[in-house]
Amino acid sequence: MLFPQENRTANDPGAGAHPPQASAPAPQPIIVQAPSSGVKIPILFGAVIALVGACVYLFYQLNQVRTDLADTRDSLAAEISKLNETASVSTQTSRRNIEQLNKDLAKARAQAAQLSGEAKTAASAHADEIASRLSRMQEEQGKQIAGVSSEVSQVKNDASAANAKIGEVSTEVGSVKTDVAKTKSDLEKTIADLKSTRGDLGVQSGLIATNGKELSALRELGERNYTEFKIAKAKAPQKVGEVSILLKSTDPKHNRYTIDVIADDKTVEKKDRTINEPIQFLLSRASQPYELVVNDVKKNLISGYVAAPKVQQPRGSGAASQKQP
């Protein structure tokens, strides 16, 4: 639940050190420390390890493609050898048949020379038939040789295409390695630029994002859930995550604004606050404070984000009451 506390000036870093103006001392809030910033480094390393894992996986795919290509080449070589052997056997068989036919032709012609009349005509016809068969066999042999040559050319083309595919995969792996290195460098630089400050509850805030790039870096760390918002001045509050926000006024010249935060059926006014100042408030469902940060103030419009704890652990019923401005 939201608990009221004495307001103090947001821009006065020593405001917490001065005694309150009221005669009676104000109850002090119990400060719940945010998670140690040391958790961010293991998470960052985890993200880097995941990126390296993706790169290793791509290298594994490249090795697998190379292995498959080697197997394909061996298979194609065996097939070519088999085709060459088949062609050689076919050629030898055809050559023997041709030689036999030549012998038969010579014998038939010799017989024709000894015959006359119809016998000679029949012998000539038989010789012509043998010559025709010889011509057809030679033509078929030529077609077989041409077919083998075509298959060999196709195998060579397939091998060239496989080599080109390996080149493309190698180029893609190099590109992924470059992107991984650049992403890691950009993430580390962005996180190094983030700053931490103390919120209006007096609790040390986590890292504060001042723009969309820094907010993306915070999401990569994974310490909190972030909900972005753009709220215009209106009569009704706007729902943002688990809370509602009503914009009451803006001062773009001085980057200041005033809002009402509605949560747990309680309304708390956050008056005259500045951009990039973490506004903290407590909800009954979590022991850690929520944070609201406004990054931009325009006329009747503010934009920013709400950071909610990832672990929703309700505060104990016996805990002391905490108040906030």
- Answer whether residue 296 is part of any domain: yes
Residues 210, 162 share a domain: no
What is the SS3 assignment for the chain?
CCCECCCCCCCCCCHHHCCCCCCCCCCCCCCCCCCCHHHHHHHHHHHHHHHHHHHHHHHHHHHHHHHHHHHHHHHHHHHHHHHHHHHHHHHHHHHHHHHHHHHHHHHHHHHHHHCCHHHHHHHHHHHHHHHHHHHHHHHHHHHHHHHHHHHHHHHHHHHHHHHHHHHHHHHHHHHHHHHHHHHHHHHHHHHHHCEEEECCCCCEEEEECCCHHHHHHHHHHCCEEEEEEEEECCCCCEEECCEEEEEEEEECCCCEEEEEEEECCEEEEEEEEECCCCEEECCCCCCCCEEEEEEEEECCEEEEEEEEECCCCCCCCCCCCCCEC
The CA distance from 76 to 121, in Å, is: 53
- Give a yes or no: residue 312 inside a domain: yes
Tell me the percentage of the chain whose pLDDT exceeds 90: 26
In this predicted model, what pLDDT tens digit does every residue of 256-297 receive, in sequence order?
999 999 988 899 999 999 999 999 988 888 888 899 999 999
Separation of alpha carbons 100 and 130, rounded Å: 11
Q: Quote the pLDDT of residue 15.
A: 44
Task: Indicate if the pLDDT at residue 107 is higher than 50.
Answer: yes
Instruction: Pick the more confident residue, 25 or 265.
Output: 265
Give the CATH number, domain containing residue 132. 1.10.287
Q: Residue 157: its pLDDT value, please?
A: 86
- 304-318 tens-digit pLDDT: 999 998 877 665 544
Instruction: Single out the residue in 191, 222, 242 at which a domain terminates.
Output: 191
- Whether residue 22 is contained in a domain is answered as no
Of 144 and 250, more confident: 250
Max mean pLDDT range (53-57, 127-131, 192-196, 270-274): 270-274
Give yes or no for residue 8 having a pLDDT over 90.
Answer: no
Residues 149-161, mean pLDDT to the nearest whole number? 81
pLDDT of 47 over the 90 cut: no
Does the residue 8 lie in any domain? Answer: no
Between 27 and 126, the more confident residue is: 126
Whether 81 and 185 map to the same domain: the answer is yes
- Are residues 174 and 252 part of one domain? no
For residue 166, pLDDT beyond 60: yes
The residue out of 144, 161, 191 marking a domain boundary is 191
Q: What is the mean pLDDT of the chain?
A: 78
Domain that holds residue 231: 196-325
Instruction: Say if residue 210 is in the same domain as residue 322.
Output: yes
Report the domain count for the chain: 2
On the question of pLDDT at 197 being above 70, the answer is no
Q: Residue 170 above 80 pLDDT?
A: no
In a domain, 202, yes or no: yes
> Do 248 and 181 fall within a single domain?
no
Q: Is the pLDDT of residue 41 over 50?
A: yes
Q: Does 73 share its domain with 103? A: yes
As a whole number of Å, the CA-based R_g of the chain is 44
CA separation for the pair 54, 138 (Å, rounded):
60
Is residue 135 domain-shared with residue 200, that is, in the same domain? no
137 neighbors 145 (Cβ within 8 angstroms): no
Whether residues 245 and 308 fall in one domain: yes
pTM: 0.41
Which positions ≥6 away from 303 have C-beta within 8 Å? 228, 229, 230, 231, 294, 295, 296
Q: Looking at residues 300-306, what average pLDDT do you find?
A: 96
CB 280 within 8 A of CB 243: no
The pLDDT value recorded for residue 5 is 46
In a shared domain, residues 183 and 217 = no
For residues 216 and 300, membership in a common domain is answered with: yes
Q: Specify the amino acid at residue 194.
A: L
Residues 222 and 306 in one domain: yes
| Mean pLDDT, range 96-122, rounded to an integer | 81
**Is residue 26 assigned to a domain?**
no
Residues 173 and 278 occupy one common structural domain: no
* Per-residue model confidence (pLDDT) at position 20: 47
Q: Is the pLDDT of residue 189 over 60?
A: no
Domain contains 203: yes
Answer whether residue 105 is part of any domain: yes
pLDDT at position 27: 60
